[in-house]
Amino acid sequence: MSQPTPEVYEQGKGMDAHNQVMREIRSRKEASYDPHEPTRVWLDEDNTPTGVKQSLTIILNTGGCRWARAGGCTMCGYVAESVDGGSVSHEALMNQIDVCLEHERENGDEPADLIKIYTSGSFLDEREVGAETRRAIADTFADRERMVVESLPDFVDREKIGDFTQHGVDTDVAIGLETATDRVRHDCVNKYFDFADFEDACAEAAAADEEAGATADAGIKAYLLMKPPFLTESEAVEDMISSVERCAAVEGCHTVSMNPCNVQRYTMVDDLYFNDGYRPPWLWSVAHVLEETADIDAIVVSDPVGHGSDRGPHNCQECDDLVQKAIKDFDLRQDPSVFEQVSCECERTWEVVMERERSFNQPLTR
Min dist CB 19 to another protein, Å, is 9
Nearer to another protein by Cβ, of 170 and 235: the residue is 235
As a whole number of angstroms, the distance between CA 36 and CA 92 comes to 5
**Min dist. Cβ of residue 362 to another protein (A):** 6
Distances (CA, A) of 310 to 276, 282, 302, 314, 363: 11, 11, 19, 7, 13
| DSSP secondary structure string for all residues of 228-258 | -TT--HHHHHHHHHHHHHHHHTSTTEEEEEE
Which residues, 6 or more positions from 111, have their beta carbon under 8 angstroms from its beta carbon? 104, 143, 144
Write down the least CB distance from residue 25 to another protein, Å.
8
> Nearer to another protein by C-beta: 158 or 186?
186
Give me the least distance between CB of 358 and another protein, in Å please: 6
- Is-contact 187 227, C-beta < 8 A? no
Between CA 297 and CA 305 the distance in angstroms is 25
CB of 12 vs another protein, minimal distance in Å:
9
Query: Would you say 35 or 280 has its CB closer to another protein?
Result: 280
d(CA 267, CA 76): 6
Q: Which is nearer to another protein, 61 or 362 (CB)?
A: 362
Query: 295 or 348, CB closer to another protein?
Result: 348
Q: Which is nearer to another protein, 249 or 352 (CB)?
A: 352
Positions touching another protein (CB under 8 A) are 13-14, 16-18, 20-21, 24, 181, 183-184, 187-188, 229-232, 235, 238-239, 268, 271-278, 345-346, 348-349, 352-353, 355-365
Give the nearest distance from C-beta 112 to another protein in angstroms: 39
Angle subtended at Cα 296 by Cα 324 and Cα 158, rounded to the nearest 5 degrees: 100
The per-residue DSSP string of 184-200 comes to HIIIII-----HHHHHH
